[in-house]
């Protein structure tokens, strides 16, 4: 397990990853005063919780939407090593898994090399498994590949003394209210619950229960549900496929929202 301690006067924390860690689709409450497209997300929310228990938190978020594992490790990881943080959260490989022909065994080898560099720089590392996609009809076929990758990630975490946030076991996130309209990114409530889960893993005291059951609501009528499916396909699935076919990424031209270790606030 990680040796991370929250008792220090000053803690430095760097978040690495893709859209999941950048914070899509959790609009920042101060969005009117921030660059267009700025999101909050679980990492910002976790940093806010952590800041309440240390003298000073210095936080950088290098995550950028659409990034593949190799891009995270070539564009973000060297900067993280340079910053020499106390704590790094690392979620990488999800965009690779979505692509046909990707091999979870090969991805795991690259992932472990990245973890080894971060641990060698003195950082405590938190690793995230992938979600259980069995409840999502469009991505249900990826379930076996995600499960294989997850087993690798757990083994890597064991070998390198990392903490693990097991997204696969968070059944509370298998409710549609945990997801935004694109069905690929967490909603604001999903991000809030995940931040609480990260706090639990790292022993950061918080109020609130990430596993609290959702309020009961009746299921959508069949016709309304199919209309939502069609709208989702037009607004989100088709543009995503078009980007894949044209070799473009949602992260093209996007810079990290917090490139430097700075006090939170």
The answer to whether residues 212 and 192 touch, using CB atoms and an 8 Å cutoff, is: no
Q: Is beta strand 10-16 parallel, antiparallel or unpaired with respect to 56-61?
A: parallel
**What span, in angstroms and rounded, lies between the C-alpha atoms of 192 and 42?**
6
**What span, in angstroms and rounded, lies between the C-alpha atoms of 130 and 122?**
25
**What span, in angstroms and rounded, lies between the C-alpha atoms of 172 and 182?**
18
The answer to whether residues 117 and 82 touch, using CB atoms and an 8 Å cutoff, is: no
The pLDDT of residue 166 is 98
**What span, in angstroms and rounded, lies between the C-alpha atoms of 76 and 86?**
16
Helices (H) and strands (E) in the chain, counts: 10, 6
Mean pLDDT over 82-102 rounds to 95
Q: Is beta strand 87-90 parallel, antiparallel or unpaired with respect to 56-61?
A: unpaired
For residue 162, the SS3 value is coil
The pLDDT of residue 224 is 75
The pLDDT of residue 186 is 96
Whether omega for the bond prior to residue 167 falls within 30 degrees of 0, making it cis, is no
pLDDT, tens only, 223-240 = 776 777 677 667 766 666
**What span, in angstroms and rounded, lies between the C-alpha atoms of 85 and 13?**
6
Count CA atoms closer than 13 A to 6's CA, side-chain side: 16
Mean pLDDT over 82-91 rounds to 97
Q: What do you get for the CA distance between the two ends of the chain, in Å?
A: 30
Mean pLDDT over 22-45 rounds to 80
The pLDDT of residue 227 is 73
Rounded to the nearest integer, the mean pLDDT of the chain is 89
Look up residue 107 and give its two tokens: 């991805």
- Top-confidence residue, 235 or 69: 69
pTM to 2 decimal places: 0.90
Percent residues over pLDDT 70 in the chain? 88
CATH class, range 10-263: alpha beta
């Amino acid at each position: 397990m990680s040796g991370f301690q929250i008792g220090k006067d000053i803690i430095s924390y760097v978040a690495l990853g893709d859209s999941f860690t950048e914070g899509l689709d959790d609009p920042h409450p101060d969005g009117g005063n921030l660059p267009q497209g700025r999101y909050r997300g679980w990492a910002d929310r976790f940093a806010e919780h952590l800041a309440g228990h240390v003298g000073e938190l210095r936080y950088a978020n290098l995550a950028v939407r659409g990034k593949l594992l190799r891009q995270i490790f070539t564009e973000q990881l060297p900067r993280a090593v340079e910053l020499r943080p106390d704590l790094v959260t690392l979620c990488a490989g999800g965009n690779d898994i979505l692509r046909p022909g990707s091999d979870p065994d090969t991805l795991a080898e690259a992932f472990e090399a990245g973890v080894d560099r971060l641990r060698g720089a003195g950082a405590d590392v938190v690793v995230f498994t992938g979600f259980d996609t069995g409840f999502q009809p469009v991505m249900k076929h990826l379930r076996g590949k995600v499960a294989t990758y997850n087993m690798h990630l757990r083994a890597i975490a064991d070998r390198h003394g990392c903490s693990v946030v097991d997204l696969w076991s968070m059944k509370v996130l298998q409710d549609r209210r945990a997801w935004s309209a694109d069905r690929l990114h967490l909603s604001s409530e999903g991000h809030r619950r995940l931040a609480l889960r990260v706090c639990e893993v790292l022993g950061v005291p918080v109020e609130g229960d990430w596993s609290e059951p959702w309020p009961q609501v009746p299921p959508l009528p069949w016709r309304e549900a199919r209309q939502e499916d069609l709208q989702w396909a037009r607004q989100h699935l088709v543009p995503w496929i078009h980007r894949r076919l044209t070799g473009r990424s949602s992260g093209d031209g996007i810079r990290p929202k917090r490139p430097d270790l700075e006090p939170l606030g």
